[in-house]
Structure 1
Amino acid sequence: MSLQSKLDAFKADFEAGKPPYNVPPAVIATMRRATAELIASGVAQHARKAGDRAPAFTLDAPDGTQVSSADLLRRGPLVTTFYRGVWCPYCNMELQALQDVLPDIEAAGASLVAISPQLPVNSRKSVRQNALTFPILSDPHNDVGAAFGLRFALPDYLIALYKSLRNDLPAFNGDPSWTLPMPARYVIAPDGTIVYAEVNPDYTHRPEPSEMLPAIRKAAAGAR
């Protein structure tokens, strides 16, 4: 089953209020409203795209070590995915799908990292729960997300909903700003150029990991 098929199946059960979710229709309507408004805002059009230079970053891995994009790019192409947090089931399914294709990514000479505004303790939980062998890097204040043009502020009515659901982003992220990155996936060539970019303000839609493999292989071949 494709990643998007899994996401669609989860979404159908969640929005239908099937156990164990039992989500009221008003909650679904609020989530749909927020997604529609984010799409209509056009903010995704301002994110970094193929052909742009990728912002450099140095971030903490869950084990406390620092990971530098410059160091990774010296080894080959870099795949970077932006992850909302351990609380997001759609994001977790995407991480699992990326883990499945990790052998192909590494066989092409590339590295894979996820970037999230969540605190390292929550990244460690994500790594354990999703059985990951690649790191989730902590992005304080969502600054790297902002450099890629992905950071957005949640509207007040969505903040109120999250609070009612006890989804406390300031506690998860150690940041009071109530911001998130739009889900995005990039392939960065060793020279720092973005050669593949997929950004979607609708967090329930994610590209298949296999779609980026040709770009990875081409970037790796070009660096030889």
Structure 2
Amino acid sequence: MPSNNKESLRQLLADLHAERVATMDPKALKINIDQRQLLVDTADRTSFAKVGDALAPFSLQEVNTGTLTLDSLLEQGPAVLVFFRFAGCPACNIALPYYQRQLAPGLKKLGATLAAVSPQVPERLVDIKLRHNFDFLVASDLDNQLARQLGILYTFNQASRQAALANGKSIGEVTGTGTWELPMPTVLIIDRERVIRFIDVAPDWLVRTEAEPILAAVKEIVAEQQLPA
């Protein structure tokens, strides 16, 4: 699909919700809505990593190329990490293709590295990269180690657990992690000094960061790097 500068991720996700309202079983829809609202109401925002925090070294497992370290992500310039839930998540299959269209080309021009990150094990996570032919990195945060460091994890509530089990699988079986934990959708920008320059955490997974503020933040970092010492 060609890039459309007026395309809105929030509108794309609102359209997904509207489709669910029209077609989804009302009980299942209520469980979905209640879980998202609970996360909005109870998220401990004081635990989220903040702009100015320095990150400790970490590693991720890219689904095609293997280990990514923090240093390797920063080799060319700033790193942009987009945390998402798992390869089969409907909202993630809207958000990541949007970032492919609206974000990845601009980041490439700026010399920034884009990586989409999920706790799902690499052999299952690779599906979303292949299906959409992403030209950015897709990596597994094994055991949610980085997401835990950033304070962005959530756990399924009881109703969501029961619904998942009624459909045949726990989320831990889907992701291969064995737990009910997933990251809240988050965009993280790290500069070459390993410092967080931008972070946006969305407890409601149908509300995610638009491309424009991400690009603006990266442009600011790159401009600073080009100033004479």
TM-score by length of 2: 0.90
Q: What is the DSSP-based 3-state SS (H/G/I as helix, E as strand, rest coil) of the residue aligned with 2:108?
A: helix
> Does 1:7 find its partner at 2:13?
yes
Q: What is the DSSP-based 3-state SS (H/G/I as helix, E as strand, rest coil) of the residue aligned with 2:117?
A: strand
Deviation at 1:45, TM superposition (A): 3.7
| Deviation >4 Å, runs of 4+ | none
Give the whole-Å Cα distance in 2 for the aligned partners of 1:49 and 1:15.
35
Alpha-carbon contact 1:76-1:223 (below 8 Å) kept: no
Q: Which moved more, 1:163-172 or 1:214-223?
A: 163-172
The residue that corresponds to 2:147 in the other structure is 145
Q: What is the DSSP-based 3-state SS (H/G/I as helix, E as strand, rest coil) of the residue aligned with 1:118?
A: coil
Q: Deviations over 1:101-138 (max 9, x none)?
A: 21110111100001101111222100012221112111
The residue that corresponds to 1:20 in the other structure is none
Do the aligned partners of residues 157 and 142 (structure 1) sit closer, same or farther apart at CA in structure 2, a change above 3 Å counting?
A: same
Q: Deviations over 1:173-216 (max 9, x none)?
A: 22222100000001111111111111010000112112211110
Deviation at 1:222, TM superposition (A): 2.0
AA in 2 matched with 1:195: R
Paired residue total: 219
The residue that corresponds to 2:83 in the other structure is 82
Superposed CA RMSD: 1.5
Alignment of 1:1-224 (within 5 A): 1-17=7-23, 23-100=24-101, 101-224=103-226
Q: Which moved more, 1:119-128 or 1:64-73?
A: 64-73
Q: Deviations over 1:65-113 (max 9, x none)?
A: 1111212213210000101011211112111111112111011110000
Give the whole-Å Cα distance in 1 for the aligned partners of 2:22 and 2:46.
31
Deviation at 1:55, TM superposition (A): 4.2
Q: What is the DSSP-based 3-state SS (H/G/I as helix, E as strand, rest coil) of the residue aligned with 2:115?
A: strand
AA in 2 matched with 1:56: P
Do the aligned partners of residues 167 and 9 (structure 1) sit closer, same or farther apart at CA in structure 2, a change above 3 Å counting?
A: farther
Give the whole-Å Cα distance in 1 for the aligned partners of 2:201 and 2:168.
27
TM-score by length of 1: 0.92
Q: What is the DSSP-based 3-state SS (H/G/I as helix, E as strand, rest coil) of the residue aligned with 1:157?
A: helix
Runs of 5+ unmatched residues, structure 1: 18-22
Percent of matched pairs sharing the same residue: 25
Alpha-carbon contact 1:82-1:114 (below 8 Å) kept: yes
Deviation at 1:167, TM superposition (A): 4.8
Runs of 5+ unmatched residues, structure 2: 1-6
Deviation at 1:221, TM superposition (A): 2.3
Give the whole-Å Cα distance in 1 for the aligned partners of 2:97 and 2:217.
21
